Structure 1
Amino acid sequence: MNRFDGKVVIVTGAGSGMGAATALRFAAEGASVVLAGRRANKLEEVAARCQGGHTLVVPTDVSDWDQVRALIDKTVAQFGGIDVLVNNAGVAVMGSLTGTSLEEWHKVMNIDVNGVVYGCRAAMPHLLARGGCIVNVSSVSGLGGDWGMSFYNAAKGAVSNFTRALALEYGGQGVRVNAVCPALTMSEMTAGLADNAALMSQFAERIPLGRGAEPEEVADVIAFLASPDARFVNGVNLPVDGGLHASNGQPRVGL
């Protein structure tokens, strides 16, 4: 049985990585999937791979409120409503506080935070009408700090706490709001890291499962949170981190 037969799902940042894997997963379970992102050609490529449901490609810059409203309007015009919103679009900037520009700060906040706020705000009336849900893509970087990623930490920390606040505000009205918090996930965003063997060895040392996640492994958890199987799960920032948060941070001793 397909859990999302007859459901309408919007996925932002759907042109690659976790977003693409999420769109494919929902389509495979029967959903009508709206693929949003800045690169129309990438969205079309993913849409062509979707099987099991209908698709709609809507090129969208999530940092632009008018474009996000247009995304919601086009979705409702095409499919009649919205059941699930997955706010996945994001960008990361690495560097020290004084070594990164204010332009980079605004870029991270506009996409990673404003994009989530805009999506939730525009979609909420339609989600309320159908008892839908939201899954935000935060990060383990939204649960703790990183070296040289203060801008990204600030943005994902905002997403994590925004998720909690919306869960309080709308849970009683029938809209669940949760987030996934992936650790290292092998995608276009992390391609440069994957080429650094020494760094990847350090990640393998810290992650008990010994590797980064595949995008499909995060998409599986997103689909769970959006499904009836998670009907009593609300306000959760769920680490998808291979056990990273099981450690208290001390180095390996005794084994």
Structure 2
Amino acid sequence: MTTVGIATGAGRGMGEACARRLADLVDVLLLVDRDETTVSAVAKDLNAAGHRATAEAFALDVTDRAGLARLADRVRETGTLRAVAHAAGISPTMADWRRIFEVDLIGTALLAEALRPLATQGTAHVYFSSMSHLLARVEPDAATAEILDEPLHPAFLDRIRAAVGPDVEQSALAYPWAKHGVARFARKEAVRLGKAGARVCALAPGIIDTPQGRQEAAEHTTMQQLVAATPLGRTGRSEEVANVVAFLLSDEASFVNGIEILVDGGVVGAVR
């Protein structure tokens, strides 16, 4: 049986680090990223290093339903879906509120929708959320939670704006709401896939030293304040996040399901 893994956002940062960890977990590793140049370079490097997996670059925007269907077809023709590390996402300085919801939450739901029929005994998914929704204390009321739990509704963006209010048009607020939605979605997807013997977890990184993280830090002075408040006194490394992802996707975590794991050096606990 040929096992297949998927790492999204694999062209750089935490997605690339996850890809490097998964390269010895599966037989074929599909590296997904919008940037074909960077993701192809990662695939070439992994293949040259002699890992267990044969790495394939797959240029794709996770909001593209047709592209996701092609990704699912590639898994079907290659083997059995074993592991998914979904790190692709955008942060507040990268886009407006609509695009943040589209990529971070709707994109997660679209990926899950495309891959759901491929779930089988031993399949495991990890979706990246963020510590931001825990720091922001996002706690929707029942009506808003119901809207948030339907990210593929045709009018989702209008519905969530009406429910949260016009302030959600601020990227810095849209981001924690979208990531809270990802954490909720992971719990619900775990219930859906459990019947097939598959698992789903969310992972919430803290402040991690990545190109995207450095871009946020340059725009927001609060990032340095959070680093100072981190009990370990430093930012995290992509490899540290990828290590936790690799555990969650491994057979050693076979009874870990439907939860969000916080990898933040303790800062959420310290601040809250």
Conserved 8 A contact 2:100-2:171? no
CA distance in 2, matches of 1:227, 1:156: 24
Aligned position for 2:159: none
Cα deviations across residues 69-88 of structure 1 (Å, max 9, x unaligned)?
111112322x2221112221
User: Which consecutive unaligned segments of at least 5 residues does structure 2 have?
Assistant: 138-169
Which segments of 5 or more consecutive residues in structure 1 lack a partner in the other structure? 96-102, 250-255
Q: Which residue in the other structure is 2:206 paired with?
A: 183
How many positions carry a matched residue from both structures? 236
In 2, are the aligned partners of 1:143 and 1:160 still within 8 Å (CA)? no
Instruction: Label 1:163 to 1:198 Cα distance change in 2 as closer, same or farther (>3 A).
Output: closer
Between 1 and 2, higher relative CO (CA 8 Å, sep ≥ 6) is seen in 2
1:235 equivalent to 2:263? Answer: no
Where does 1:52-91 land on structure 2 (aligned, <5 Å)?
52=51, 53-77=53-77, 79-91=78-90
Q: Identity of counterpart residues, as a percentage?
A: 31
Across the aligned residues of Structure 1 and Structure 2, the Cα RMSD in angstroms comes to 2.4
Partner of 1:99: none
Between the aligned partners of 1:227 and 1:58, the Cα distance in structure 2 is: 23
State the alpha-carbon separation in 1 of the partners of residues 27 and 190 from structure 2.
24
Spell out, residue by residue over 1:177-212, the C-alpha distance to the aligned partner (whole angstroms, 9 max, x if none). Answer: 101100111111122345589656423321111111
Q: Give TM-score, length-normalised by structure 1.
A: 0.85
Cα distance, 1:240 vs structure 2: 0.3
Of 121, 131, 149 in structure 2, the residue corresponding to residue 140 of structure 1 is: 131
The answer to whether 1:14 aligns with 2:13 is: no
Partner residue in 2 for 1:221: 244
Match for residue 196 of structure 2?
A: 173
Q: Deviations over 1:101-125 (max 9, x none)?
A: xx81221111111111111111111
Distance 2:31 2:218 in 1: 29
> CA offset at residue 18 of structure 1?
0.4
Task: Give how far 1:28 is off.
Answer: 3.7
Whole-angstrom distance in 2 between the partners of 1:39 and 1:198: 29
Q: What letter matches 1:140 in structure 2? A: M
CA distance in 1, matches of 2:232, 2:3: 34
Q: TM-score, normalised by structure 2?
A: 0.80
